[in-house]
Amino acid sequence: MGGRAISEIVFDAPGIARRVEELGREITVHYPEGDLLVLGLLKGSFIFLADLVRTIRRPHSVDFLVVSSYGEGTTSSGRVQLVYDPGTDLAGKHILVVEDIIDSGNTVNRLARVLLDRQPRSLEVCALLHKRLGAPLVVEPRFVGFDAPPDFLVGYGLDHAEAFRHLPFVASIKE
C-alpha cells in the first residue's frame, strides 16, 4: 500500500453505523415532501451512501457524480475535475449531495455552483466527515457525520491511491 500504514482508528465501525442511522432520521424529517435525489460523489462516498440511503425512510432516487481532486497525493490538488456527470434533470427537485469528506472545500464549492445552475428546488450537502479547514463553502453541509481531525483519513470508502477503502472504520495513516 505504497509504504502507508494505519496509525490509529479515528471512528470505529459501531460508531459510524450509529451516526449513519441518525443522519438517515434527520434527512427523513428534513424532506417531508417533494422529489428527493441523492447524489453520491464517487468513489469515496459509495459505502457511506449505500448505508445512508437504506436509513432514509421516504421515497428518493439515487445517482452519482465522479469528481477528482487528489490523484495519488495526500493533499487536494486544488483542481476539481467533474469526470462523470449524469445529466439528470435537477430542476424542481430536492438535491442532497453525499460526500465522504470535506477537506479544502474545493470539491463542494465547484459542485454547488454547477448544481445550482440547474435550478433545483433545494441543494443540501451531507458529509460523513468535515475537517472544517477551508474557507466558507457555497453550500455549508446541513448534515455532518463527524468533525474530523486534520490527519489524512482512510477507510469506510476513503482511500489513499485506491487502497484502504475496504476498512469498516475510519483511520489515520502514516508513512
CATH architecture assigned to 5-25+34-66+84-174: 3-Layer(aba) Sandwich (3.40)
Q: How far apart are CA 127 and CA 112, in angstroms?
A: 14
Average pLDDT, the chain: 89
> Is residue 103 annotated as a catalytic residue, yes or no?
yes
pLDDT (0 to 100) of residue 136: 85
pLDDT tens digits, 27-52: 999 999 999 999 999 889 999 999 99
pLDDT-above-70 percentage for the chain: 87
pLDDT digits (tens, 9 = 90+) for 77-133: 455 666 766 677 889 999 999 999 998 888 888 889 889 999 999 999 999 999 998
- Domains of the chain, residue spans: 5-25+34-66+84-174
What is the model's pLDDT at position 88? 78
List all residues 6 or more positions away from 133 whose beta carbon is below 8 Å from its beta carbon.
103, 104, 105, 150
**Rounded to two decimals, what is the model's pTM?**
0.89
- Active-site pick, 12, 35, 100, 103: 103
Cα–Cα distance for residue pair 169/11, rounded to 1 Å: 6
